[in-house]
Structure formats: structure tokens, C-alpha cells
Amino acid sequence: MPPTERRRRDTPPPRTGNTEVEVLRGFLDYLRFSIAAKVDGAPEPQVRTPAVSSGTNLLGLLNHLTFVERATFLGEAVNDWQATFRSASSDSVADILADYREATARANEVLDGCTDLAAPLPRPQPGKRAPSVRWALAHMIEETGRHAGHADILREQIDDTTGR
């Protein structure tokens, strides 16, 4: 397939409302969609094959972000962050995508109940102070954006697919 046929239309940044929460959530959802689109349709085994010396692979990035979403917004504990960059060989692309989409949907349910960005996230994590909603949103935008950039390069290395 010629490279021009593998180019997705570049999706511009989202148009959001003017409030801080609308802007933050709009950009987070935009980045979530972008990285999921990078993984969706990626061929096996390349989607899980390390493409750089650090061992980073496309499916592992999305698996990692699933854990970050759960830890940040749902208070789930993660004992080994490095392990989150690997997916089980039995997990398909569809499985990892479904897990990610489920985690982001649950995170959005939590955020739907948050009206004060300065308030702590309402998540159970005994012995740990929850970050503010603002901090959690900013952190997830940074984390998702950074890994979406990695995913752009990895997907292009796999099959020349580009675009958001």
C-alpha cells in the first residue's frame, strides 16, 4: 500500500467550552482518542515487538496508560510500573483497547462528579492524600500526550501509518 493511503486525516485540537474543566477534559479526551487510534488496527506481532532499545512497543504504551488512568483517577495501586509497559502474550490488541477504553470511561465517571478543580480526587487510597482534580487532569494530559508522541513514531515504524 502506498504511504499516502496510510495517512489518516490529521485531527486538529478539540474545540471546547471556555471553562478550565472543559478545556482540560477536552484535551485529555482528544489525546486518549489519539493514542487508542494509533494502536487500533496495528498488525501482530509488530504491535508488541520492541522498536527501540528500551523495549518500548505500541501495545505496551497503551497497557501502561490503562494502569496510569486507574491509579490516577480510581486509586488503584501499582506495585511495578515497569511491568505495566508489557502486555501478556495472550492479550490481543482488542483486549488492551477494551481495557483502556473501560478505564477511561470509569475515570470520566469519577470526573463527572468533580465540580471543584482544587478539591482532592474522590478516590480511595488509604494512607495517601489524593491529588487535586486539576493536578490529576494536568498529569494525565502530560502523560498521555508524551506517550501518544511515542506511539506516533512507533506506528509509523510498523506500517508507515501517520496522522491523528
For residue 60, give Cα distances in angstroms to 11, 27, 80.
24, 22, 14
CA–CA distance, 53 with 113 (Å, rounded to integer): 42
pLDDT, tens digit, 9 for 90 and up, residues 72-114: 999 999 999 999 999 999 999 999 999 999 999 999 999 999 9
| DSSP assignments along 7-27, one per residue | BPPPPPPPP--SSHHHHHHHH
Nearest to 109 by CA among 59, 150, 58, 74: 74
pTM to 2 decimal places = 0.91
- 3-state SS assignment for residue 44: coil
